[in-house]
Amino acid sequence: MSSDRYVVRAGSPLSGTVQISGMTKNAGLKQMAAALLAPGETVIHNLTPVDDLGVMVSLLEAIGVEITPRAQDSLSLRVPDQLIPEAPYELVSRMRASINVLGPLLARSGRARVALPGGDNIGSRKLNLHFHGLEALGVELRVEHGFIEASCRSLNGARVVLEYPSVGATETIMTAAVLAKGETVIENAAREPEICDLVKFLNGMGAHISGAGTSTLIIEGVSALVPAEHTIIGDRIEAGTLMMACAAAGGDITIKGISLSDLEMVGRKLGELGVTVTEVADGIRTKRSERLTACDVQTLPYPGFSTDFMPLIVAALATADGTAIVTENIFEHRFAFVDELHRMGADVRTEGRHAVVRGVARLSGAPVRAFDVRAGAALVIAGLTADGETTVLDPHHAERGYADLAGKLRSVGADVERLT
């Protein structure tokens, strides 16, 4: 077993200013996959080296893309005229974002063989919405021996109504529809800032997409796209993680490179907890001096409270004054990290999609284990409020989405080390 770990100790309240990273996991990886739509050299900036980035690089190289560094945070993707329309199991099984090659491969090659994707074990994430949308565009699909086998003679615009505003399904349908004949309308589309950034990237390649940020996307198909150069948005999940850390540990920090409009519901919920959240020039200021006051939380699709933030706010609520009910409406297995909080003395009881969090005065440092990206960050945040030393094992889970979580927290005064 690996001895890699985060070591966390409670200390002084957090203080200072931190620059947010680029949103590699939820935005950059999707745009790298979308680069398959145009032969030639596409350059993507503001990529931070999270572990999933390496998986996407290997996957695209297997499809035939030549990838080279352009600068410290930039990659050049040279997309060939002829793609290898297959995404192998050994790569796709490691990362959910691998499914994002499906739409571009169908649009460019008319066929695709993509292994069923892997990722964090946080609940059912079926692909029926992806399949429904692609079938409406004229794609024939079947799943055999763990692979999605998809083909089409041509892609034709259609009206697609999603049962749920799935980010992944919206991305898959959109990246296929940009090269379809005619108009495609996606109703009940996802509205996340990452969708808006993908639309901006695709329009920069010559796509005609309108409605980004609303529940209706309109895509006018074009005959071909061209390579582009694009800088991805700041990582709102990393920013929200730092805001939650300040809420738990106390202090006054400023996070640069992100807009409060992208984190409006996080700001509102932290306000209910007693945290002061304000927008400043090119950033967000978060301040907490008194003990948190418990409030209820439920996760919903954007612009609601994101499921990515649920483990983080549970960690903060663990030492709040009062009792809170947290409802997880997106993934049914996302409360697995609660057992680790119990090791630290948290009073959290779960029943189905609900958790009752009764705040205690102080947690107790203990060895705990991360099971997914956000659970790893949540346990680090819990360690900031615990007596003694907290050891978070299996930090590689968190590192799939955070380039340097310990370093970011240390930059605002937290006592966090990443040890090997």
Q: What is the pLDDT of residues 158-168, one digit of tens each?
A: 999 999 999 99
Q: For residue 169, report the phi and psi dihedrals to the nearest 5 degrees.
A: -65, -40
> The tokens of 199 are what?
């639309």
Instruction: Give yes or no for a contact between 87 and 101, defined as CB atoms under 8 angstroms apart.
Output: yes
pLDDT at 2: 61
Residue 52 bears catalytic tag: no
Query: For helices 128-136 and 102-109, what crossing angle results, to 10°?
Result: 20
Banded model confidence at residue 145, pLDDT cuts 50, 70, 90:
confident
pLDDT at 91: 82
Residue type, 77: L
pLDDT at 89: 85
Taking only the tens place, the pLDDT of each residue in 267-312 is 999 999 999 999 999 999 999 999 999 999 999 999 999 999 999 9
Instruction: Give yes or no for a contact between 368 and 379, defined as CB atoms under 8 angstroms apart.
Output: yes
Q: CA 327 from chain center: how many Å?
A: 20
pLDDT at 120: 45
Instruction: Give yes or no for a contact between 355 and 338, defined as CB atoms under 8 angstroms apart.
Output: yes
Taking only the tens place, the pLDDT of each residue in 96-130 is 668 899 999 999 999 999 988 854 444 434 789 99
- The torsion defined by the Cα of 374, 377, 381 and 384, in degrees rounded to 10, comes to 160
pLDDT above 90: residue 94? no
- Dist. CA 382–CA 319, nearest whole Å: 9
Q: CA 283 from chain center: how many Å?
A: 20
The length of the chain is 420
- Dist. CA 37–CA 45, nearest whole Å: 18
Neighbours of 352 (CB within 10 A): 9
pLDDT at 197: 98
The single residue of 51, 52, 73, 120 carrying the catalytic annotation is 120
Residue ranges of the chain that CATH labels 3.65.10.10? 5-20+234-419, 24-231
Instruction: Write the CATH number of the domain with boundaries 24-231.
Output: 3.65.10.10
Element (H, E) at 324: strand 323-327
**Considering the domain 5-20+234-419, what is its CATH architecture?**
Alpha-beta prism (3.65)
- The torsion defined by the Cα of 23, 310, 301 and 199, in degrees rounded to 10, comes to 0
pLDDT above 70: residue 245? yes
Q: What is the average pLDDT value for the chain, to the nearest integer? A: 94
Which residue bears the tokens 């945040």?
381
pLDDT at 123: 41
Strand residues in 165-282 grouped as ranges (E): 183-187, 208-210, 216-220, 229-231, 251-256, 276-280
pLDDT > 70 fraction of the chain, expressed in percent and rounded: 97
| Pick from 60-69, 81-90, 208-217: least confident | 81-90
pLDDT above 70: residue 256? yes
The stretch 62-85 carries a mean pLDDT of: 95
Banded model confidence at residue 3, pLDDT cuts 50, 70, 90:
confident
Show the DSSP H helices in 250-399 as ranges.
Answer: 264-273, 310-317, 338-343, 373-383, 396-399
| Pick from 52-66, 121-135, 228-242: least confident | 121-135
pLDDT at 93: 79
Tell me which residue of 203, 194, 205 sits closest to 232, measured CA to CA: 194
pLDDT at 98: 80
Bigger pLDDT: 52 vs 122: 52
